[in-house]
Amino acid sequence: MTALEISPLRRALRAWYRPRREGYPWRRQGTGPYAVLVSEVMLQQTQVARVASAFEGFLRRFPDVSSLAAASRADVVRAWAGLGYHRRAVALHETARTIVRMHGGTVPPDPRALRQLPGVGPYTASAVAAIAFGRPFVAMDVNVRRVTSRVVLGREPEDGNGRQIATAARLLLDPRSPGTWNQAMMDLGREVCRPVPRCEVCPLERWCRFRDAGRPGTTTTARKQPAFEGSNRQARGRIVAVLRDRPSAGIAGLVAATGIDVDRVEGAAAGLVRDGIVERRGRSFRLAR
Ligand code: SF4
């Protein structure tokens, strides 16, 4: 793909993204690095619509790094309601404490420093550096990876080479506004260039090699999610929901309140204790303080 092609491609994606730009609360004017960090941690494993409904409440409760750092673990887990995967709440809480201790309460702009924070991997570090600080990094989530691989390399990401996809993503990245670019690519992958792509409404159709090759919708089927019903994740979520409303509960109380059998409740409760989300006091469990 040449520079002559990349400029109009970027323009087309920017124009498509413009009306979506303020579509989520963490993208609105005046949102600082702390809010970007919180939103990116929430978005790691939770659908965007659920994050949209929980994000503002969380920010009202903990408006800045120091208020989150000073909170109790139990209050952070309570404010995480509806988002699932509570280990992230614990990691975010630890991250706020680390930022206060090591960075004077200010989110660091450098991805290497960001990656030292609990629960912040390469993707989240690049996303925060690009979106909050305008640094030229690609936030390579599953959507960005799929769009890049299809448009530039003309194949599904599973059929390609990770290094080539990373190089192609850096080639496309708009250096004038890396944060906007990353979010536009994420939105395109989520709304249009889905596993079964909707090329007829895609702003990149003119330049897309995958489309040119006549492959849309022929090779990829949506990946099947593991069943939630009966899973350990379901048991953990229900136990945390019970302990949000009660000061403590024993195994029998948790079995009665969750409707889940005793073996699963015991296993899930032990995992929550290991992850620092719940603590055990004698025969009772409560949210960690
Ligand atoms: S043209 Fe089709 S395959 Fe190419 S980026 Fe757009 S939606 Fe994806």
Is the C-beta atom of 202 inside 6 A of ligand 1?
yes
Q: What is the DSSP string of 135-197?
A: -------HHHHHHHIIIIISS-GGGS-HHHHHHHHHHH--TT-HHHHHHHHHHHHHHTS-SS-
Is residue 70 one of the residues assigned to a domain? no
* Ligand 1 pocket residue status of 83, Cβ below 6 Å: no
Domain count along the chain? 1
Residue 268 counted as domain residue:
yes
Residue 206 lies in a domain: no
Inside any domain, residue 148? no
CATH number (domain holding residue 277): 1.10.10.10
Tell whether 280 is covered by a domain.
Answer: yes
Q: Which residues contact 210 (CB under 8 A, 6 or more apart)?
A: 149, 150, 151, 154, 155, 156, 197, 216
User: Looking at the domain assignment, is residue 166 inside a domain?
Assistant: no
Going residue by residue through the chain (289 aa), what tens digit of pLDDT does each one get? Answer: 776 789 999 999 999 999 988 888 888 766 799 999 999 999 998 999 999 999 999 999 999 999 999 999 999 999 999 999 999 999 999 999 999 999 999 999 999 999 999 989 999 999 999 999 999 999 999 999 999 999 999 999 988 789 999 999 999 999 999 999 999 999 999 999 999 999 999 999 999 999 998 876 554 555 566 788 889 999 999 999 999 999 999 999 999 999 999 999 999 999 999 999 999 999 999 999 8
- CA of 203 from ligand 1 middle (Å) equals 8
Q: Ligand 1 center to residue 156 CA distance, Å? A: 11
Residue ID of nearest Cα to ligand 1 atom 8: 193
What tokens appear for 46 in the block?
């939770």
**H helix and E strand count, the chain:** 15, 3
d(CA 271, CA 32): 34
Distance of alpha carbon 278 from alpha carbon 178, whole angstroms? 39
Q: Is 40 a catalytic site residue?
A: yes
Q: Is 37 contained in some domain?
A: no
Ligand 1 atom at minimum distance from 208 CA: 4
Residue 250 sits in which domain range?
Answer: 232-287
> Quick check: is 269 in a domain?
yes
